Amino acid sequence: MNQQTMQAEPYEFTFDPKTTALLIIDMQRDFVEPGGFGEALGNDVTPLQAVIAPCKRMLDAARGMGMMVIHTREGHSSDLADCPPTKIARGRGEIRIGDAGPMGRLLVRGERGHDIVPELYPKPGEVVIDKPGKGAFCATDFDLILHNRGIKSLIVCGVTTEVCVTTTVREANDRGYECVVLSDCVGSYFPEFQRVALEMVKAQGALFGWVSDSSRALAALRT
Ligand code: TIU
């Protein structure tokens, strides 16, 4: 046991780096680059690119100290058998999940748009969870992998804050994992949703988890 303390809200977050993983959610071209799924839903994706640099600082720190790193990607098999028809229909976009865009078929595994941005690209040995839903626990091996590796706490980064990030944090919280979300390492297409989603995580005495930022997380990892 080597408990570390990270300054956070609503109060300090304590964790053992040996039983903690850095979780980077859905930092895929489809969400952060023009021409992908995020833009097809009607969003300006450029604000999300601001989270790449702080995520990279966390990734470098985790790699440097041998902390477990887990990446997720949202997407579907090429026949879309794992995609609810209701999900394809939503948004009523001109191009939808499975349709061809400038980065390949939207949100389909193996396509350029589905893959993780080069700055944060997984290294061999890092876990990549391919998930069909917003939450990382739905129809994946995520819980089993965390259990097998003895992981109890998650430092959470990625996009988007109020969709895949907090869906996963809520799922993790119900399974007994302790999550801290780093506010500058998560991004939303909607500033108000970002603010309120983070408020919800830490409300009522850390009901779902904690909120900190990369500076305070890096300070905690260095001690
Ligand atoms: N639409 C949106 O904000 N997000 C998603 O559809 N997926 C993730 O958050 N990864």
**pLDDT at residue 91, as a whole number:** 81
- Give me Rg for the CA atoms of the chain: 17
Residue 141 has pLDDT above 90, yes or no: yes
**pLDDT at residue 92, as a whole number:** 85
Residue 72 has pLDDT above 90, yes or no: yes
- Kindly give the number of the ligand 1 atom that is closest to the alpha carbon of 26: 10
Is there a catalytic annotation at residue 26? yes
DSSP element (H, E) containing 65:
helix 52-65
**pLDDT at residue 213, as a whole number:** 99
pLDDT tens-digit series, residues 86-119: 999 998 889 999 999 999 999 999 999 999 999 9
- Give the other-Cβ count within 10 Å of 142's Cβ: 22
Provide, rounded to the nearest whole percent, the portion of the chain with pLDDT above 70.
100
**pLDDT at residue 223, as a whole number:** 86
DSSP one-letter string for 1-57: ---EEE--BSS-EEE-GGGEEEEEE--BHHHHSTTSHHHHTT---GGGGGGHHHHHH
Does residue 26's CB lie within 6 angstroms of at least one atom of ligand 1?
Answer: yes
**Ligand 1 pocket mutation, candidates 33, 41, 168, criterion most atoms within 8 A of CB:** 41
Mean pLDDT of 15-25: 98
Ligand 1 centroid–CA 163 distance in Å is 5
* Average pLDDT over all residues of the chain: 97
Q: Is the pTM of this model over 0.85?
A: yes
Ligand 1 centroid–CA 4 distance in Å is 32
Mean pLDDT of 160-186: 98
- Give the other-Cβ count within 10 Å of 139's Cβ: 12
Residue 29 has pLDDT above 80, yes or no: yes
Ligand 1 centroid–CA 134 distance in Å is 7
CA distance 84 to 44: 25
Does residue 127's CB lie within 6 angstroms of at least one atom of ligand 1?
Answer: no
Tokens 């790193």, located at residue: 69
Does residue 74's CB lie within 6 angstroms of at least one atom of ligand 1?
Answer: yes
Is there a catalytic annotation at residue 55? no
Residue 1 has pLDDT above 80, yes or no: no
Mean pLDDT of 2-10: 97
